[in-house]
Structure formats: structure tokens, C-alpha cells
Structure 1
Amino acid sequence: MAESPRFLRYVAVGDSFTEGVGDDDPSRPHGVRGWADRVAEVLAARDPAFGYANLAIRGRKLDQILAEQIEAAMALEPDLVSIYAGANDILRPRVDLDALLARYDDALARIAASGAHLVVFTAFDPGGSAVYRPIRPRFERYSDFVRDAAARHGATLVDYWHLTEFRDWGYWSEDRMHMGTPGHARMAAAVLDALGFPHDLPDVAPSARAPGGLRARVAADAEWLRTGALPWVHRRLTGRSSGDGLSPRWPIPVRPAGADSGT
């Protein structure tokens, strides 16, 4: 059996997906944990010299991530970098996808050239959502690009598009935009599996959604529209972001909280 890889410094780059939004933990910076923290805890348990930084900030679009996080990540001299970027751009009414993907590819090449091992993600397949289904072709094209880029740059691919269990909304938070705790736990396992790194992360069952007929579903949809969708649209229209004023959760490498707890 091949030996699992050894990493001593992991830097996570991106937006809310990587920051950990939806996986609430008041004891941690920004009040979240997330899949990247969970991955780092497993990696750290194997090596006392391991360090982890998370530069991701919710709401960041691709160019913000490239400007604010890539060189900062490289300055930390990581041997493992994960990145997921561009989804916030794709959700906008208009996007030049060709230009977006070209800039993203340049960033992936920069990271790969540093010698760090790169982990990349396809998008989630939104075809099961009436809200997100109209922009499914954009995310499908993005995912095709990421698969090709992973092959070109020797990166580890986490093919989110084909993690079909995420079609169960029990893996998502109440805002229907971010993974919930079960989703982050499942994603951590998927990342470690893709890296070929053994783990015994416990399964977290998807959240139970309250049963109900048409009236209950309409009421739930109306509540989501009021508390989730409309605030998001308002921020877009006013040029604001949920990440305004936030700094990275772990800007310099630390030994992850929980690394020695086995959870």
C-alpha cells in the first residue's frame, strides 16, 4: 500500500466555502469551523510540526481572492494549498466566463509552480434547485475547466459536481447557499480521500427537514426568501459583501484547534 502524503504547512484560500460558513462554532474565529479546519486537524494529528492557515473570506469574488490571498499564501511557504474561487462571480447576472477562467488558470499555475501540492474543486451541480438551475450551464463549464486544469497542473481534484449526496438539502445550512455542518464534515472526508490520506472522521447525518405539505413548503420558501435570498440580493445591488470588514480567520500558520481530540 502506498504511503499517505506528508504535509507540514497547509494554506486554505477562497471564499465562504473554505472559510467555513454554515458550520457554526462560537469558539472559533468568525464563529465557524468548516471542512478546511477539519482537514487540518486530521493532518496535524499525524505530525506535531504541522501548521495551518486559512485566508478565505466570505463573499470574495475571484479578483479579490487573487489580489488579497495568493501572494499572502505563497509567502507562508506552504506545501499544500487548497483553493475554490469564482462561484461568487458566476452567481452575478453577467460574467465574462472566458476571462474569469483564464485568470483563475494563471493563479493555479502560480501556486503549482511554487512546489506546493494543489487541491481544487469543481462546482456543486445546482440542477436540483429551481433557484440556481438557470445558471447550471455556467457551473458545468466551470467544472469542466477545473477538471482540465487539475490535470495540467498536477493538482488533486475534489469533484464536488459528482458528490451526489449533496442533492439532499439536509447537508446545507438554512440559508440554502452554504453547506451546513453535515456538508462540511462530508467535504472534509472527500478532501482527505482525494489526497489519499487515511482518516476516521465520524459521519454527520444530514439534518432532518421538517415534513409538511404544500402550505408548509410555501411558508418555508417565503421565510428563506425574506431572511436569505433578499438580503443577499440587497448586498449585491448596494455593492456590499458579507465579508466586508473581516480579516482572515487564521492568517498565520497555527496548530489547528481540535488536532489532538480525534474529532
Structure 2
Amino acid sequence: MTRRIPGRYVALGDSFTEGVGDTSRHLPNGVRGWADRVAEALARDTPGWEYANLAIRSKRLRHIIAEQIEPALAMEPTLITLYAGGNDVMDVGTSITTILDQYEFLVSRLAESGATILLFTGYDVEVSPLLAPLRRKNHAYNCGIKTIAAKYGAIVVDYAALHAYANPRMWCSDRLHMSKRGHKYLAAHVLEVLQVSHGIVLKEKSHPPKPTWKQRGHGHYLWVAEWVVPLIGRKIRRTTLGDALTPRWPELLRVPPKKGLKKVARRQTTTAAG
């Protein structure tokens, strides 16, 4: 993307794009994320950019199709980012054929807008040997995304090939979502793909020391107790973490070149209080 006139950026998807893992008490839903950082960099580079983020954690492809396509197209975007399907891949019993059929339908509709479209492959997160069978499904998903992107002229951000994410520091404690550092790194990479200048600087950090077998066992126990068991409980109850949430930025807003979206959030809070 070489345009140097302001446009309209709409971000779609699930927790990956909502910003889960990049905590911020000043912003809607308590998170920031790579997409907010991209929007702010676009506005600093070329003032006047507008931004909406419709992503909500836990959403499957069917939800994104039903809830996000039409509002996104109505905004007449010039740039769309979409990460979707990761939750479907992790759902037991969903076929890769069904996932890719829904994904292609979603991309085909977004392509009607004429916007620049960025798609993402899915990273092979090695959270546990128990989930190893899902890796084959994820590989097929990634191959399908690349084929669909080529068919509709979309740009692929090959998240699966970003070796920096082999560092555990790039992930938060649930082992599935990026940490603040991970979100910052991805924002920088997306901006470089778009050929947009940015000031995101990441200090080099080595991998943490390898844990002892005792530490590894304790860490795995905590992960199962704090994340896996509640996840299974939600699946049994057929609820998700996103059920009570609304999109963070549901309508296009002008992103201030200075102080960014925190300035917008403060303004909205003041207006609501008044």
C-alpha cells in the first residue's frame, strides 16, 4: 500500500484483532492490540485516517459473517484486516472444508468493497502435546488462506512464518494470545507490509531460561487449572468470553495523530459522564 492520502481502516475478526493479551485499562474492553497500533501509525503518517474495529473474542467464522460483514461494507473501507477461523480450527468436529468454505465466502464479500485486504495465517502455538493433532488442521487452514488470498487479490501476512514468536515472551499466560510485546511486534510487521513508517521499537530480549522439569510441571498444572478447565466449562455451557462484549470501536472514528486512541477514549468517557 503506497497511498499517502487518508483512508478508512476496518479491522475484523476475533480475540487476535480485538487485542486480547495487550491489557489497557484506558481503552474499551480493557485491551489495546496490534490493530489499534496500526491505526495510530497510519494517522501519524497521514493525518485524517478513520478506524473501526469490530472484532470480538471467541467469535467463529459464522459469527463474523453474520455480525461483521455488513457493518464493515457499509463503512466503505479502503483497508480491511481479517483474522478469522482460529477458533473454528480449535473446535473439535469442525471440518477444514467447512472452515475454508466459510472463510472464502467472507473474503469474497469483503473483496466487493475494492479495499486493500490483509489476511493472516495462523501460528502453530505449541501449548500442549494434547493439542498436537490440531496442528495438521492448522497447516491445511494456512494453505487454504494462501490459495484464497491469491484468488481474491488479498495480501497475506504470514504470521505462521514469523520466527520471533518462538520466544515465550511473545505470549501471555494462556499460551494462546500474544503478549503486549507480541502485539507490538505484529503491528510493526503489518506496517512494514503496508510500507507505512512507524516508531515502534522493540528492545531485543533473549529467550527466558529453560524451566526445570519441576517448574515445567507446575506451570502446566497452573495453565490447565486457570485456562483449560474454565475453557472446557464454557464449552459445556455453550458460552464464550465474548458473549457479553460489544465491538471496541464499532463506528468509524478519526484517529488523532497525537495521543491516538487513548485521547478518543478519554473524550468518550467525558461525554458519557457529562
TM range (shorter): over 0.9
The residue number in structure 2 matching 1:102 is 101
- Cα distance 1:208–1:228, how it changes in 2: closer, same or farther (>3 A)? farther
How big is the shift at 1:172?
Answer: 0.3
In structure 1, the gaps of 5 or more residues are none
After superposition, give the CA deviation of every residue in 1:178-232 in whole Å (9 maximum; x if it has no partner). Answer: 1010110111111112222222311155697576421111111111111111111
Are 2:225 and 1:226 equivalent residues in the alignment? yes
Q: How does 1:67-216 map to 2 (within 5 A)?
A: 67-126=66-125, 129-203=128-202, 209=208, 212-216=211-215
**For the residues of structure 2 that align with 1:163 and 1:225, how far apart are their CA atoms?**
27
Deviations 1:146-180 (A, max 9, x none): 11111111111100110111122210001111101
Contact 2:22 2:183 in 1 (8 A): yes
1:36 aligns with 2:53: no
Letter of the 1:240 counterpart: T
Once the two structures are overlaid, the 10-residue window that deviates more, 218-227 or 127-136, is: 127-136
Which residue does 1:10 correspond to in 2? 9
Distance 2:188 2:249 in 1: 21
Report the Cα offset of residue 5 of structure 1: 5.4
- RMSD of Structure 2 on Structure 1 (CA): 2.1
Amino acid at match of 2:86: A
Moved over 6 A (4+): none
Larger CA deviation: 193-202 vs 58-67: 193-202
Structure 2 gap ranges (5+): 262-274
Sort the Cα spacing of 1:114 and 1:136 in 2 relative to 1 into closer, same or farther, 3 A: same
Cα 1:6–1:231 change in 2 (3 A) is: farther
Q: Secondary structure at the match of 2:129?
A: coil
SS in 2 for 1:126: coil
Number of residue pairs the alignment of both structures matches: 261
Q: Is the 8 A contact 1:4 1:197 kept in 2?
A: no
Deviation string, structure 1 residues 26-45 (Cα, Å, up to 9, x no partner): 00001100000000000011
Is the CA contact (8 Å cut-off) linking 2:38 and 2:191 kept in structure 1?
yes
Is 1:260 paired with 2:225? no
TM-score normalised per structure 2: 0.89
| Structure-2 change in CA distance of 1:76 and 1:262 (3 Å) | closer
Q: d(CA) in 1 for partners of 2:229 and 2:53?
A: 29
